[in-house]
């Protein structure tokens, strides 16, 4: 413990120094008889305790006290006033300006040692507290860094699950897009043939219109040309072409809309969500988009029973909620698909309002979940699928999105042999998103 004694009488300084060195263990004492030397010595020796005489020639000890306390780095050191005067107003002034204690002169040994030990103990407690605070600050910074890493990891896991889900249904999505694109391409070829026929006929019409201008053209020739054109119209089936052209255009437009919906659904699902984009969205639309993406997967496997209220508005991250519904739908499809059954399975999706919540319940008539697995299905990396068929993150990510990110609930009801139901419960009017960083 470094102790500085500041006074004007060197003999008194020496006596005080000897008392401290004799009776206070682990102490290093430095003397200062000039006010100008106080600041340099405090800085040089990293002083912990200052014994300051209140009366010093040419400068008041109270001014030195103020000067020491004016520096931030000396806020926590102990300052003890050495004084011969007994004046409560002086004591009051000293304590108001930062003194921690006082000792009367002439010094009483027992009192002196007791007060010095108390100051040393107080200083050590402050140092220990500072070290603890530094440790806590360091740990907090490390925790922040770890939190950022966990957020990055969580984001990567969510993206991995999105890619896994899309990978599982990529062939089906390709088929759903190729089917309308196929008949759109065929329709374009048909329209090209129709346009060629119409173009050729228009050329005949133009030539026919020019015939009356020629003075040598008689009425019989015009009738023959008209009959020839009518014959060509009949052979080329122009009336059918004109009627069919409208149907072809409408059919092609319908195909383009189907492709547009699929692509938009994929875009909504692929949104990263890093910006925590929360907006007023329609859950019925989100559910329809997810069903569109898995449409091909359900063919020859399960009939879809839709019981969806329209609209179902709520504040949510559209991409994240879409991913939750998609993951649960895929689980239901896999459950039905893995059964040895001759008939079609059934998957029911219900979406409805319930008081201040929006509910979405997805049920299947698959084999159900074993009792020993039911409490673990939301655990990361837990899966009952064959090795290489899944990493066990779909339901874990879905749980985090619903519960941690949106303040909702995700529950499961299942019995072996009786199918499984997942219920998503989301607050409808909460404008807050409960991000994992909270």
Considering only residues 191 and 211, tell me which one the structure prediction assigns the higher pLDDT: 191
CA–CA separation, 264 and 319 (whole Å): 11
The answer as to whether 39 is a domain residue is yes
Q: Are residues 343 and 301 in the same domain?
A: yes
For 328, phi and psi rounded to 5 degrees?
Answer: -70, -40
pTM of the full structure: 0.52
Q: Is 408 exposed, middle or buried (0-12, 13-18, 19+ CB in 10 A)?
A: buried
The answer as to whether 432 is a domain residue is no
The answer as to whether 25 is a domain residue is yes
What is the biggest distance separating any 2 CA atoms in the chain, rounded to whole angstroms? 149
Instruction: Summarize the confidence of residues 10-25 as an average pLDDT.
Output: 87
Q: Is the pLDDT of residue 371 over 90?
A: no
Tell me what the pLDDT averaged over the chain comes to: 83
Q: How far is CA 20 from CA 120, 176, 280, in A?
A: 12, 91, 73
Q: Is 95 exposed, middle or buried (0-12, 13-18, 19+ CB in 10 A)?
A: middle
User: Is residue 264 within 8 Å of residue 292, measured between CB atoms?
Assistant: no
Nearest to 334 by CA among 381, 384, 370: 384
For 49, phi and psi rounded to 5 degrees?
Answer: -135, 135
Nearest to 429 by CA among 341, 368, 377, 357: 357
Q: Is the pLDDT of residue 328 over 50?
A: yes
Q: Is the pLDDT of residue 381 over 70?
A: no
Q: Are residues 93 and 202 in the same domain?
A: no
- Please count the structural domains in the chain: 3
The β-bridge relationship of strands 2-6 and 28-32 is parallel
User: Is residue 283 within 8 Å of residue 360, measured between CB atoms?
Assistant: yes
Write the pLDDT tens digit of every residue in 150-162.
766 666 666 666 6
Q: Are residues 314 and 361 in the same domain?
A: yes
Q: Is the pLDDT of residue 351 over 90?
A: yes
Last residue of a domain, one of 227, 256, 285: 256
Residues 206-231: b if buried by 16+ CB within 10 A, e if exposed = eeeeeeeeeeeeeeeeeeeeeeeeee
User: Is residue 342 within 8 Å of residue 404, measured between CB atoms?
Assistant: no
User: Is residue 410 within 8 Å of residue 423, measured between CB atoms?
Assistant: yes
Q: Are residues 244 and 305 in the same domain?
A: no
The answer as to whether 159 is a domain residue is no
Q: Are residues 252 and 283 in the same domain?
A: no
Q: Are residues 249 and 275 in the same domain?
A: no
The answer as to whether 160 is a domain residue is no
Whole domain around residue 374: which residue ranges? Answer: 271-427
Q: Are residues 250 and 279 in the same domain?
A: no
Write the pLDDT tens digit of every residue in 397-423.
888 889 988 999 999 999 888 899 999
How many other CB atoms are there within 10 angstroms of residue 319's CB atom? 20
3-state secondary structure the chain: CEEEEECCCHHHHHHHHHHHHHHCCCCEEEEECCHHHHHHHHHHHCCCEEEEECEECCEEHHHHHHHHHCCHHHCCCEEEEEECCCCHHHHHHHHHCCCCEEEECCCCHHHHHHHHHHHHHHHHHHHHHHHHHHHHHHHHHHHHHHHHHHHHHHHHHHHHHHHHHHHHCHHHHHHHHHHHHHHHHHHHHHHHHHHHHHHHHHHHHHHHHHHHHCCCCCHHHHHHHHHHHHHHHHHCCHHHHHHHHHHHHHHHHHHHHHHHHHHHHHHHHHCCCCCCCCEEEEHHHHHHHHHHHCHHHHCCCEEEEEEECCCCEEEECHHHHHHHHHHHHHHHHHHHHCCCCCCCEEEEEEEEEECCEEEEEEEECCCCCCHHHHCCCCCCCCCCCCCCCCCCCHHHHHHHHHHHHCCCEEEEEECCCCCEEEEEEEECCCCCCCCCCC
Q: Is the pLDDT of residue 266 over 70?
A: yes
Q: pLDDT band for position 223 (50/70/90)?
A: confident
CATH of the domain at 60: 3.40.50.2300
Residues 97-113: b if buried by 16+ CB within 10 A, e if exposed = bebbbbbeeebeeeebb
Q: Is the pLDDT of residue 26 over 90?
A: no
Q: Are residues 193 and 333 in the same domain?
A: no
Instruction: Summarize the confidence of residues 279-305 as an average pLDDT.
Output: 90
Last residue of a domain, one of 104, 129, 154: 129
Last residue of a domain, one of 256, 284, 316: 256
Nearest to 393 by CA among 324, 342, 341: 324
**Bridge partners (DSSP) listed for residue 314:** 281
CA–CA separation, 145 and 151 (whole Å): 10
Contacts of 31 (CB under 8 A, 6+ apart): 4, 5, 10, 13, 14, 17
How confident is the model at residue 154, as a pLDDT?
A: 62
CA–CA separation, 298 and 144 (whole Å): 44
CA neighbours within 13 Å on the CB side: how many for 98?
Answer: 22
Q: Are residues 53 and 177 in the same domain?
A: no
Instruction: Summarize the confidence of residues 254-265 as an average pLDDT.
Output: 84
Q: Are residues 236 and 329 in the same domain?
A: no
Q: Are residues 288 and 243 in the same domain?
A: no
How confident is the model at residue 276, as a pLDDT?
A: 59
Considering only residues 151 and 255, tell me which one the structure prediction assigns the higher pLDDT: 255
Q: Are residues 363 and 407 in the same domain?
A: yes
Least confident of 76-85, 169-178, 355-364: 169-178
CATH of the domain at 389: 3.30.565.10
The answer as to whether 155 is a domain residue is no
- What whole-number percentage of the chain has pLDDT above 90? 28
How confident is the model at residue 435, as a pLDDT?
A: 45
């Amino acid at each position: 413990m470094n102790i500085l004694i500041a006074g004007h009488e060197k003999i008194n300084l020496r006596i005080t120094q000897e008392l401290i060195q004799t009776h206070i263990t682990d102490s290093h004492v430095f003397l200062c008889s000039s006010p100008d030397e106080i600041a340099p010595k405090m800085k040089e020796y990293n002083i912990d305790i200052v014994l300051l005489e209140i009366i010093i020639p040419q400068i008041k000890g109270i001014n030195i006290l103020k000067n020491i306390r004016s520096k931030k780095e000396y806020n926590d050191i102990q300052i003890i006033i050495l004084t011969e005067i007994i004046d409560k107003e002086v004591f009051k002034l000293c304590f108001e300006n930062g003194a921690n204690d006082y000792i009367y002169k002439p010094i009483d040994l027992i009192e002196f040692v007791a007060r010095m030990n108390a100051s040393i103990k107080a200083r050590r407690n402050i140092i220990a507290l500072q070290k603890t605070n530094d440790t806590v600050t360091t740990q907090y910074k490390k925790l922040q860094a770890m939190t950022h890493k966990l957020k990055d990891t969580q984001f990567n896991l969510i993206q991995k699950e999105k890619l896994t889900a899309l990978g599982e249904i990529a062939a089906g999505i390709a088929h759903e897009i190729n089917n309308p694109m196929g008949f759109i391409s065929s329709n374009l070829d048909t329209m090209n043939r129709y346009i060629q026929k119409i173009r050729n006929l228009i050329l005949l019409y133009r030539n026919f219109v020019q015939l009356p201008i020629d003075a040598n053209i008689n009425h019989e020739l015009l009738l023959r040309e008209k009959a020839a054109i009518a014959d060509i119209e009949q052979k080329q089936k122009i009336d059918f072409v004109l009627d069919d052209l409208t149907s072809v255009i409408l059919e092609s437009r319908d195909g383009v809309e189907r492709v547009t919906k699929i692509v938009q659904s994929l875009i909504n699902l692929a949104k990263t969500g890093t910006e925590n984009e929360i907006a007023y969205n329609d859950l019925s639309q989100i559910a329809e988009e997810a069903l569109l993406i898995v449409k091909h997967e359900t063919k020859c496997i399960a009939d879809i029973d839709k019981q969806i209220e329209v609209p179902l508005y709520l504040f949510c991250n559209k991409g994240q909620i879409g991913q939750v519904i998609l993951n649960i739908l895929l689980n239901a499809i896999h459950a039905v698909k893995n059964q040895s059954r001759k008939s079609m399975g059934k998957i029911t999706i219900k979406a409805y309002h319930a008081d201040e919540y929006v509910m979405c319940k997805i049920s299947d008539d698959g084999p159900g979940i074993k009792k020993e697995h039911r409490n673990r299905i939301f655990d990361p990396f837990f899966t009952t699928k064959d090795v290489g068929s899944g990493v066990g993150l779909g339901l874990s990510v879905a749980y985090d999105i619903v519960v941690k990110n949106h303040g909702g609930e995700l529950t499961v009801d299942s019995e072996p042999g009786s199918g499984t139901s997942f219920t998503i419960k989301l607050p409808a009017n909460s404008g807050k998103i409960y991000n994992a960083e909270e």
